A = this chain, B = another copy of it.
Amino acid sequence: MTGQVRTVDGRVAGRRGQATRQKLLDCLSEMLSSSPYRDVKVIDVARKAGTSPATFYQYFPDVEGAVLEIAEQMATEGAQLTALVEGRNWVGKAGWAAAEELVEGFLDFWRANDAILRVVDLGAAEGDKRFYKIRMKILNSVTNSLTESMKELQAKGKVDKDLSPAAMAGSLVAMLAAVASHQKGFQTWGVKQAELKPNLALLVHLGITGKKPTK
């Protein structure tokens, strides 16, 4: 499917090579969590991985290239987020549960990958299509499912027809992503995690169904 792993100069990487490569990715990932993206240097990553800068450049064109790789891996895992929405029933108590679990799952995923997601967000906002695509890959899985759910509700006449499901789903998902990436901020400020989740769930429910949830 994805073809073999190759070095920058075209050689196929063997077992040892792949291990080194992965170690570099892991170290980079760690560095992204601990220091500003702008200050992450190839030489530091290489040192941390117990190798030399030259080795880094054998597997990646530059830091950005390696980041894209990590992001790609994460995006693949992120596809599982679809499961949070797909086949859900948005009516009655089940609807409230669906909203709650969506919020929960989303925040968890974001917390687990916050460092790399920050960089992806920045890249996407700066207009880099490669990052944008990755961000889409993650968000689309949720957005599309939500859009479908809303369309169904519209078809049954339970939601105003003049709403754009895509825009609504997109806005909700953007909200979740934004809140998720500033979770620490909310905490530092006055808002507790416990208060945040029900509010988000409420907004999601209101947005999708147009009605207050029955808890």
* Interface residue ranges, A against B (CB under 8 Å): 36-38, 64, 114, 118, 121-128, 132, 135-136, 163-164, 166-168, 170-172, 174-175, 177-179, 181-182, 184-186, 188-191, 195-196, 198-200, 202-203, 206-207, 210, 212
Which of A167, A195, A202 is the most central at the interface, judged by chain B CB atoms within 10 Å of its CB? A167
**In-complex Cβ contact of A195 among B121, B164, B179, B212 (8 A):** B164
Contact assessment for A166 and B178 in the assembled complex, using a CB-CB cutoff below 8 Å = no
- Within the oligomer, what is the number of copies of this chain? 2
Cβ of A168: which chain B residues have Cβ within 8 Å of it?
199, 202-203
Contact assessment for A174 and B175 in the assembled complex, using a CB-CB cutoff below 8 Å = yes
Can you sample 9 A-B contacts with CB below 8 Å? A36-B123, A164-B195, A168-B203, A171-B203, A172-B175, A172-B203, A174-B179, A175-B175, A203-B203
**In-complex Cβ contact of A118 among B125, B174, B186 (8 A):** B125
Cβ of A182: which chain B residues have Cβ within 8 Å of it?
124-125, 174
Contact assessment for A126 and B118 in the assembled complex, using a CB-CB cutoff below 8 Å = yes
Docked complex Cα distance between A196 and B170 (Å) = 9
Instruction: Name the distance in Å between A183's Cβ and chain B's nearest Cβ.
Output: 10
